[in-house]
A = this chain, B = another copy of it.
Amino acid sequence: MAEQKQRISGDKLRAFIAGAFEAVAVPREDARAIAHLMAQADINGSEGHGVFRLPQYIRRIKGGAVNVRPSIRVEREMAGMALVHGDNGMGHLVMKFAAEKAIEKAKTAGVAWVGARWSNHAGPASLYATMPLAHDMIGLYMAVGSANHLPPWGGLDMLLSTNPIAVAVPAGDEPAIVLDMATTVAAYGKVKTKAQRGEMMPEGWMMDRQGQPLIDPKRASEGFLLPIGGYKGYGLAMIIGLLAGNLNGAAMGKDVVDFNNDDTTETNTGHAIIAISIEAFQDLKAFKQGMDTLIRDIRNSRRLPGVDRIRLPGEGTHTARADREKNGIPMPEALLAALDQLAAELKIGKLAR
């Protein structure tokens, strides 16, 4: 039962987002950079992290939780690393700065790891992991999520976020491999979608406070998301949090602020981006040929009964991007209504249809 959705072009979406940020005193250049990245999230099919987040971002700027004129800067630096201070700016600006720094450093160091602190929610992980691709580099991104939804394995207290990791690896003629995953079986957004549709969740997404399967998404607040592989996903969420949070002096554990329910508090969000120059390790052409061969071996391998196609990580994103760059981004009515309301509040023009 596919909902009929209006299609909005990337240009119109970018213009609207940039206008909204300018209306709350974000400098024009920064507003445009954020708009570009947020619209790219929608174009890539990461709808839960694109313009859907705009009302929340604006609310937090108005509440004083985010600095609209940050001095984003390198605090510490060695040949293979840097630590970026985000000065509580929008996460998109901080991570764009950090990713560019990592790419620049990897050109001379081969590999560079750039951490960031005093940042904010930056949208989907794959936005930053894919930035090194244009430089024939592998990108690896990790972040501390902006709300704790995950207890330690066996526990009741939500001390961990669904800390995401994304890795992008270039190929030759084939599209790049892009993995972008949270460390829980389902993302919280998927639970919300099930609730909106009045559907039950499969067992394994959530459990309740007695450790029993929770399948009614309307009861989501009575339970927890489950980590992938049980204690393994718990360990992975913790490790990503240590690398993106603790290492950078950013918030982790009980210090994480739930940015969904708070418009005034700085989050000190931590991220890490690693850029890896392929040519530092081997011949670029040989690498790309090897990637193409591997991708084709996997795609053309034998399938389980009922499986129509073997997918590669990132394939859904490539398909969404090709469609949306040509035909525009499908936007649900409820989202368009929320953006119209935001436009009225900010006294800016509505998103052009």
Contacts and interface: CB of A to CB of B under 8 A. Distances in A.
Contact of A294 (B157, B209, B231, B253): B253
A305 B79 CA distance: 50
Interface string A95-126: 00000000001101111110100000000000
A52 interface: no
A287 interface: yes
A307 B281 CA distance: 47
Contact of A282 (B248, B281, B313): B248
A141 to B, nearest CB: 12
Interface string A257-283: 000000000000000001011101110
Interface string A186-218: 000000000000000000000001110000000
A311 interface: yes
Nearest to A283: B249
Copies of this chain, complex-wide, total: 2
Contact of A247 (B113, B138, B155, B230): B138
Given A152-B301, A303-B155, A179 B238 contact: yes
A247 B278 contact: yes
A287 B270 CA distance: 14
A81 B185 CA distance: 34
A274 B305 CA distance: 41
Contact of A305 (B157, B211, B254): B211
Interface residues on A, range: 35 or more
Residue of A151, A239, A287 with most partner-chain B CB within 10 A: A239
A310 B108 contact: no
Q: Which of A253, A298, A302, A306 has the most CB of B within 10 A?
A: A298
Contacts of A274: 113
A311 B79 contact: no
A154 B83 contact: no
A23 interface: no
A257 B209 CA distance: 46
Given A76-B281, A246-B294, 14 more contacts: A78-B111, A79-B110, A81-B109, A81-B110, A159-B297, A169-B239, A169-B243, A179-B235, A231-B313, A249-B282, A249-B286, A252-B290, A252-B294, A253-B298
